[in-house]
Structure 1
């Protein structure tokens, strides 16, 4: 069973058709939209501030999402995929974003819509990432602009695939 715990009387809330892996942890002031998935060994800690996720968000294996006490909440838009072992901390991620495996996004960073953060990238505190771009490296720097075909193709494909993957586990539960 996943660990889903209140903090100071505030329980996590999930939308419709969400999947939470048996060893995932979700605590405190966390609100998830519809068709979200929290995968194996992921930790979503809304204990010191709030975490808000839109619809069709997938938080893959080993991801840690947190926020900063009395300073920065974490906001994740719709149709966002957060790759394995990424760290999302006290930042805002707009709609239609792919965060690559092992990437780190720090406090007060703002990731614009239709963006890819490459695997292993480190988005430093306070960085503003313009919409429709690819950022990579340590610290993360703009590599190129993205054309809309890539957004419609790759970013949507990954988000849709994770809804399908989650359905496999729901079938097994029946």
Structure 2
């Protein structure tokens, strides 16, 4: 993976499924697991040096996003790993830190999700929103603002749009992977 940094630390090496697309400029460090057909787009940083980052299948982390976690500490023996499910969309320049994003969750452009927050299945954290620590978004909810608050439940059309986005990014990642491979020939 030319132009990609895969860095082991503290005896932990990133585990990336062969079908995943990792774009040039990415930095993937430590206890990171990336599932089948997921894509990590240009210039993302995934730093799991103090806990773990788990990314499911067909999930995309778009350009310039930063993913991190928090270590165990007194009163919090689990710390704040970052757990991301299947078919998740994470928009450009998002900051996702020590939270849980359930299957088919959505994080908008430039949004922030903090430690121990939960983004439910088919839920959307709007562009630019900040989901504070320990806040829990229910399934199919739209949250927006700084700090983020629930605006409404998502209609079927919005959920269908997010699912179409997953299909688009999965296919587009294959095209980018092929284009990069052609450069190496």
Assess same fold via TM > 0.5. yes
Name stretches of at least 5 consecutive residues in structure 2 with no aligned partner: 73-78
Which whole-Å CA distance do the structure 1 matches of 2:134 and 2:7 have between them? 30
* 1:38 alignment counterpart: 40
* 2:92 alignment counterpart: 84
Number of equivalent positions:
173
Which whole-Å CA distance do the structure 2 matches of 1:61 and 1:169 have between them? 13
Normalised by the length of structure 1, the TM-score is 0.96
Which whole-Å CA distance do the structure 1 matches of 2:18 and 2:164 have between them? 20
* 1:136 alignment counterpart: 144
Task: Provide the secondary structure at the position in 1 that maps to 2:163.
Answer: helix
Runs of 4 or more consecutive aligned structure 1 residues displaced over 3 Å after TM superposition:
none
Offset at 1:16? 3.6
* 2:51 alignment counterpart: 49
**Does residue 118 in structure 1 map to residue 126 in structure 2?**
yes
Offset at 1:60? 0.5
Offset at 1:62? 0.7
Task: Provide the secondary structure at the position in 1 that maps to 2:173.
Answer: helix
The root-mean-square deviation of aligned C-alpha atoms, in Å, is: 1.0
* Selected match of 1:14 from 16, 21, 25: 16
Name stretches of at least 5 consecutive residues in structure 1 with no aligned partner: none
